[in-house]
Structure 1
Amino acid sequence: MIFDGYKICVLSGFAGFTKMSGEIISKNISKNGGTIIPLPQARNQTSNLTLIIVPEQSDEKMILKVMNLTSLPSCPLVSPNWAINSTNSKTLHDPNDYQIKKTELPIKRQSPQTYQSPPQSPFEAYKTLPLVPLSNSPEMNRTQTNPILNQNNTRLHDDLLQNKDKYMFTKEQPNLNEHITSVLEILMENYFLLRDRGRGFAYRSAIIVLKSHPEKIICGDQVGNLQKVGKKIKKKIQEILETGTLKRVKAMDEQSRLKAIKEFSKIWGVGSATADKLFTLGYRTLDDLRKNIPQFLNDNQRICLELFDEIKERIPREEVKEISDQVVEYAKLLLPNKDIEANTCGSYRRGKETCGDIDILLTFDDVLENKLFLRELVDYLIEKKVVTHVLILSENCKKHESFTFEGIAKKPDGLHRRLDIKIYPRKYYAWALMHFTGSANFNRSIRLFAKNKGLKLTDEGLFPAIRSHGETICGGNLVECYTEEDIFRLFDMPYKPPEQRDL
């Protein structure tokens, strides 16, 4: 058993390490031969403990307060990553590699400004930095070898890169099976709208495999051995090859329930469950809704229903740029002493001629010390008549260190347009930039690859992860990346420009 002979106390419920996370890690340790010593008992038996698992972001004062002690125990204090990585690899990792140095508690996390950059551009230095694994990062407050990187700390370990080429995000070629996947995607979307998630995910998995397939499929025999493509889906593929469509899709298109759910789900803030409820109450069209708006629709849903015909229109690329430029200009006026880096993401960054909305990503030094900036920016955009409606404005970053505005903008002579503004600290910006650039299929594919390797890829980094009973418990960020090029290098891939990420 992995943890045979280990007596461990798990401190959770503070410093970003939730009680649920602690409970799942404790169960995994017990299942694998370890002994969990409850906190009340551990307080009086610190000399008998093998080690204590503590949150990565904790400090000496926090630990002493939780344990009700006057001095730190003599046993090692280690990161939750030790238990997570040992469980995932089914091999006991050396706790010393995950030990949090007591002599460095507490320690102030340094800003990426530690890397000196040339005067003309404070971010230019980040663009030439090699990957910085956490074990060498100035932000580290512990010593740890990085088990996911190769010896040179330049990319993922060879073991983790195995079978990478089977995933869609690595492909250079276009989708050779668009004639099949385009029809199956309609079926998949219908099932998700009807909240039949099982079939929806089954079709999504099959579509990913078909898009990655290196040959154009022209007969049913070619899909005989493809993984994730079950018997029923194979029959659907054969029907598509013979007729160009599916009877099931045509039949579903005639269903009044699905028609209504599709229509109502296009309203911002209305999900499939709310859309289904509207259908059950007798609503069939948007006009029905406008004539008699139900009380359970909130203010934001009512606003987006009122402006639906304008918001649904695609936005010309020139207009996206014009509004984005205004937002960035006003941001720089409000923070004249900050070097703000900005990108307009989504389909705009992928080079499309029209966009569904305007998605702007910002970063600058000391984001968390300017928590009111987004509120001030939105107020200024309202004053300048750029923003007409505020739908969401998050100023609370207890869980995530980013800030989000979702609303509606309008040119003086234009239509109402959906506008999102997101602000991330510099250390997360490259991850967020890749995430919000998309495409959705590119993101799903690279996240699936990470998931299958025991990791979790998000808009804030790459984390070791344990998944149990629908709950995902993540360890600390494993790698610091300051450019998208660094992230692609991490996955041992040549950089793929945004316009090549439409899959």
Structure 2
Amino acid sequence: MWSVQLSGQFQPYDAAANSKIEAAFRAGSQHAKIDLRGQRYIISFQPADAMRQKLENDPSRTRPRKEPAAVDAATSKRAKGDPGKKADAPAASSSAAASSAAVDLTGDGGGGAGTSGSGAVGAAGTPAAGADPSTNNQRIEAMLLELAETEKVKGDNVRAGAYFKAAKAVREHPSPITDGKKAAKELKGVGKKIAEKIDELLSTGKLARLERERGDAGTSSLRQLQRVSGIGIKAAEALQAKGIMDLLTLRARAEADPTLLTHEQTLGLTHLEDFESRIPRAEMLRLEAAVRRAADAHSPPLDMTVCGSFRRGKAFSGDVDVLLTNPSFARVPEDGDAAGTPGWLSTLVAALKASGFVTAVIALGAKKAACVCRLADDEWRALQQPTALPAPMEVESAGAVSEGSGEAGGEGSIVTDCGQLGDCLRRSLSDGYSLSSRETMSGGSPPASAAGPQTASFDVSSFSGGFDVGAGASGPRYRRLDLRLVPCESYAASVLYFTGSDEHNKSMRSVAIAKGMKLSEYGLFTVRKGTDGKLVEEPLPGMHTEQAIFEALGMAYKAPAERDL
């Protein structure tokens, strides 16, 4: 991935920015222009510029940037005097996500996006001068993602979702798109208005609306302010009404008036850069271990799973999402969500604070807690060592699970009636396995005839090399920790839901609806009409593993690492 030097170490751009930089590089552009954190940056591809990232409105502020090894040769060709040659750079990432990044959309080797004037719209399908049709889909996807992010910043999640859906359809389209009307007929999620935008981009190399949005001070201000955790569109607009248009002013005003921001917003502003920094897997493993020590020592001991991108085997995560349960907390109380829920989160958070791991509590309830956490200095120093990554781990899981037996089937087994979650649950879920999985992180599985416990290896060291290991300027970064207490009967469904990805969850929910069922973080339910005509939901019995949920829906099981659609 493309990366930029921060705090003396190279860190990768996020997936969407990386995708768009690659698209500009493939198009033979001299540079890409991206908007990050309310600022516009120029990513130079030219050796004469020392191949650096520059702040557009202050070119003296630069950072070294590094391209993937796969494009080194292409960059070398440019260094030898062939800047117009289309480079053989890697294809844009298929996992591009929402970002505030905007990129030069021309594909013509020039400045493109960010230049003045909107340009006249030519005939549909007429390419902008010098544009390479093979990069059309990457440029269209970049445009749609930027539109989605713009709508998201303005608080219109419906329009943002439509643009995200269209961007995904474009990304997966097998051939170059050359006509918006044709795309509207072939691609789900591309309608008349999006087709018109595609034609405008293809014929002029840019989109007039994005040109205006990029130069709009109000939109840029909303984007900056909403970087702070706890500040949404309404809070950002309220701050604007008070004359606060940027983070610098917000910091100064918040320092002068401690009542300006809520407790969550104050912490979000204090730890803004740390919260925005991606967490490498090596650090995630140590953060997980710190929570697990407290969960194991808790009375009663709490079983836990770190979900999200970590469980899907990703090299980086945004925060630490932890699910917790214990067999004695079997089901949601009938007299309300909070009533009857054990007070375990309070005692667990108290223990984490006493150990120094949790430095602040953002919010604390019976079922959910949001905290700020940080590795101890010695743990952080250990991460700075080149040999700090742990050795490959082995997770043993049961070769067979007997429903409702109520007895442990040996080490690593899981009893599925919530009578005993077992050691395997605590060990395996955090390493990317389901409640009782014989599948490896890469999705492989033993033959169906395999009997007895299966051992699956996950080599954490495969994530080493070239990424920030959580270092701040002088110590460990502050990270966001979200804890959720879940009843045992909902645990498998919750693990499935919070593991993601969002697209995978949506696809499973669609299958459930088609079968007259409902799937949520609380479980899998049959749905029928009662005698009074109202819908009645009844939990499907035996849904104590992810595999059981897949099977009930008639779907082939997918390991967590296979759930990025």
With the shorter chain as reference, the TM-score category is 0.5 to 0.7
Is contact 1:208-1:445 (8 Å) kept?
no
Question: Deviation at 1:249?
Answer: 2.6
Matched AA of 1:422: R
Greater shift in the superposed pair: 289-298 or 349-358: 289-298
Is contact 1:257-1:276 (8 Å) kept?
no
Structure number with higher helix proportion: 1
1:405 paired with 2:369, answer yes
Matches of residues 271-310 of structure 1 in structure 2 within 5 Å? 271-293=232-254, 295-310=259-274
Distance 1:222-1:304 versus aligned 2 partners, 3 A rule = closer
2:329 corresponds in structure 1 to 367
1:383 paired with 2:354, answer yes
Q: Distance in 1 between matches of 2:370 and 2:535?
A: 28
1:500 corresponds in structure 2 to 562
Is contact 1:193-1:272 (8 Å) kept?
yes
Is contact 2:183-2:195 (8 Å) kept?
no
1:393 corresponds in structure 2 to 364
Question: Deviation at 1:200?
Answer: 2.8
Is contact 2:528-2:536 (8 Å) kept?
yes
2:298 corresponds in structure 1 to 334
Which structure ranks higher in relative contact order (CA pairs < 8 Å, sequence separation ≥ 6)?
1
Is contact 2:296-2:303 (8 Å) kept?
no
Q: Distance in 1 between matches of 2:219 and 2:512?
A: 34
Question: 1:16-75: per-residue Cα shift (whole Å, max 9, x none)?
Answer: xxxxxxxxxxxxxxxxxxxxxxxxxxxxxxxxxxxxxxxxxxxxxxxxxxxxxxxxxxxx
1:260 paired with 2:221, answer yes
Distance 1:330-1:197 versus aligned 2 partners, 3 A rule = closer
1:433 corresponds in structure 2 to 495
Q: Distance in 2 between matches of 1:434 and 1:177?
A: 32
Matched AA of 1:199: R
2:160 corresponds in structure 1 to 200
Question: Deviation at 1:289?
Answer: 0.6
SS in 2 for 1:362: strand
Matches of residues 49-68 of structure 1 in structure 2 within 5 Å? none
Question: 1:166-219: per-residue Cα shift (whole Å, max 9, x none)?
Answer: xxxxxxx989966533431221121132133453343244345445x5633432
Greater shift in the superposed pair: 455-464 or 444-453: 444-453
1:317 paired with 2:274, answer no
2:320 corresponds in structure 1 to 358
Greater shift in the superposed pair: 483-492 or 284-293: 483-492
1:5 corresponds in structure 2 to none
Question: 1:358-415: per-residue Cα shift (whole Å, max 9, x none)?
Answer: 11122220126771211111000000000011112111xxxxxxx2111100123311
Q: Distance in 2 between matches of 1:233 and 1:200?
A: 12
SS in 2 for 1:330: helix
1:481 paired with 2:543, answer yes
CA RMSD of aligned residues (A): 3.1
1:216 corresponds in structure 2 to 175
Return 5+ residue gaps in structure 1 as ranges: 1-172, 396-402
SS in 2 for 1:407: strand
SS in 1 for 2:147: helix
Matched AA of 2:304: A
2:436 corresponds in structure 1 to none
Q: Distance in 2 between matches of 1:278 and 1:306?
A: 17
Matches of residues 151-230 of structure 1 in structure 2 within 5 Å? 180-207=140-167, 209-210=169-170, 215-220=174-179, 221-230=182-191
Is contact 1:218-1:241 (8 Å) kept?
no
Question: Deviation at 1:228?
Answer: 3.4
Question: 1:336-375: per-residue Cα shift (whole Å, max 9, x none)?
Answer: 6x5x432211111122222111111222201267712111
Matched AA of 2:192: K
Q: Distance in 2 between matches of 1:325 and 1:486?
A: 28
Question: Deviation at 1:235?
Answer: 2.0
Q: Distance in 1 between matches of 2:355 and 2:503?
A: 37
Question: 1:431-489: per-residue Cα shift (whole Å, max 9, x none)?
Answer: 1111111123333444455557665432112346799xxxx976233454212222222
SS in 2 for 1:476: strand
Distance 1:185-1:464 versus aligned 2 partners, 3 A rule = farther
Is contact 2:363-2:371 (8 Å) kept?
yes
Q: Distance in 2 between matches of 1:251 and 1:452?
A: 43
Q: Distance in 2 between matches of 1:370 and 1:332?
A: 19
What TM-score do the two structures reach when normalised by structure 2? 0.51
Q: Distance in 2 between matches of 1:444 and 1:189?
A: 20
Matched AA of 1:424: V
Distance 1:491-1:455 versus aligned 2 partners, 3 A rule = closer
Question: Deviation at 1:229?
Answer: 2.0
> Once the two structures are aligned, what percentage of the paired residues are identical?
32
Q: Distance in 2 between matches of 1:230 and 1:289?
A: 40
Matched AA of 1:224: K
Is contact 2:512-2:553 (8 Å) kept?
no
1:416 paired with 2:507, answer no
Is contact 1:367-1:425 (8 Å) kept?
yes
1:458 corresponds in structure 2 to 520
1:145 corresponds in structure 2 to none
Question: Deviation at 1:270?
Answer: 1.3
Matched AA of 2:327: D
Matched AA of 1:263: Q
Q: Distance in 1 between matches of 2:189 and 2:325?
A: 40
Number of positions where the alignment pairs a residue of Structure 1 with one of Structure 2: 317
Is contact 1:185-1:207 (8 Å) kept?
yes
Equivalent of residue 231 in structure 2, options 270, 283, 289: 270
Return 5+ residue gaps in structure 2 as ranges: 1-93, 97-135, 331-339, 378-475
Q: Distance in 1 between matches of 2:141 and 2:287?
A: 35
SS in 1 for 2:539: coil
Distance 1:342-1:245 versus aligned 2 partners, 3 A rule = farther
Q: Distance in 1 between matches of 2:261 and 2:165?
A: 34
1:251 paired with 2:212, answer yes
Is contact 1:431-1:460 (8 Å) kept?
yes
Equivalent of residue 197 in structure 2, options 205, 230, 236: 236
Question: Deviation at 1:271?
Answer: 1.1
Matched AA of 2:325: T
